[in-house]
Amino acid sequence: MVITIDGPAASGKSSTAQWVAERLGFQHVDSGALYRAMTATALRVSTDVASWTASALLEADARIALQPGAKSFATLIDGECADAEMRGPDVTAHVSRVAQMPDIRAWVNERVRRAAERHDVVVDGRDMGTAVFPDAALKIFLIADPWERARRRLIQRLGRSPADDEIAEETDLLVQRDGSDSTQTVQARDAVLLDTTYLTQEEQVERIVALAHAVSHRPATG
Ligand code: CDP
């Protein structure tokens, strides 16, 4: 069974997907982590971003692994966890450009599809419910007000309540990235739209788990 959770930057996709996967005994696959790993590896090779091409970037294919763990697939670079680097500002600033390359999208999609072959998965990203798993059992599209998304992302990063000017600056960056990601962020026609602006993490997880139970008990048709 595949559940997809798509939505814009910092809409809570990954943390929600992880919790939902845990509740259902599924594995979580974070497609954004693969784009981030590809970008981090590219930056390790060359910071001359203008010279990056998909074929040069794809030489890093063997360096990036999606490894099944107890609850989630871990994205490793050269066999090691590189989460801090992958979530850092340099990668975040360049990842949208990498994600716009069709060959890189095909590479990520292939990796994610392979992960789903042997596991029940909750996959999060931008286009999982459209480009990658059009037949997913349940599709969620998460949205939230940009200010609230920025506030949550800063709490996650700083471990404290951010000041208004910090939130304003982060909101600008998020809105910019929403713009760069707009072509690849697609809401499936059959996705359930969930606005999490006024929901707690627990509430949004609860709603998705309930929807998952409902679809898995629905009698098969056709
Ligand atoms: O949660 P956040 O948007 O910060 O990041 P992410 O899910 O880790 O995705 C990082 C970047 O990867 C996004 O800004 C997109 O450029 C790209 N991405 C994509 O194009 N398609 C996906 N399915 C997932 C991520």
> Above 60 in pLDDT, residue 222?
no
> Above 80 in pLDDT, residue 219?
no
Mean pLDDT calculated for residue range 11-17 = 93
> Above 60 in pLDDT, residue 45?
yes
pLDDT at 220: 62
> Above 60 in pLDDT, residue 75?
yes
Mean pLDDT calculated for residue range 9-35 = 95
pLDDT at 42: 97
In this structure, the residue with its CA closest to atom 21 of ligand 1 is: 126
pLDDT at 65: 97
Query: Ligand 1 mean position to 101 CA, how many Å?
Result: 13
pLDDT at 132: 97
In this structure, the residue with its CA closest to atom 4 of ligand 1 is: 9
Mean pLDDT calculated for residue range 88-93 = 95
Q: What is the mean pLDDT of the chain?
A: 95
Q: What is the 3-state secondary structure (H, E, C) of the chain?
A: CEEEEECCCCCCHHHHHHHHHHHHCCEEEEHHHHHHHHHHHHHHHCCCHHHCCHHHHHHHHHHEEEEECCCEEEEEECCEECHHHHCCHHHHHHHHHHHCCHHHHHHHHHHHHHHHHCCCEEEEECCHHHHHCCCCCEEEEEECCHHHHHHHHHHHHHCCCCCHHHHHHHHHHHHHHHHHCHHHCCCCCCCEEEECCCCCHHHHHHHHHHHHHHHHCCCCCC
pLDDT at 216: 87
Mean pLDDT calculated for residue range 6-20 = 94
CATH topology for the 1-26+120-217 domain: Rossmann fold (3.40.50)
**In testing the pocket of ligand 1, which one of 18, 86, 95 has its CB within 8 Å of the most ligand atoms?**
95
pLDDT at 70: 86
The percent of residues in the chain predicted with pLDDT above 90, rounded, is: 92
Mean pLDDT calculated for residue range 85-109 = 96
Query: Ligand 1 mean position to 221 CA, how many Å?
Result: 34
pLDDT in tens, 132-188: 999 999 999 999 999 999 999 999 899 999 999 999 999 999 999 999 999 999 999
pLDDT at 170: 96
Decide: 126 in ligand 1 pocket, CB within 6 A.
yes
One of 3.40.50.1240, 3.40.50.970, 3.40.50.12280, 3.40.50.300 is the CATH number of 30-117, namely 3.40.50.300
Q: Where in the chain is the domain with CATH 3.40.50.300?
A: 1-26+120-217, 30-117
What's the whole-model pTM score?
Answer: 0.93
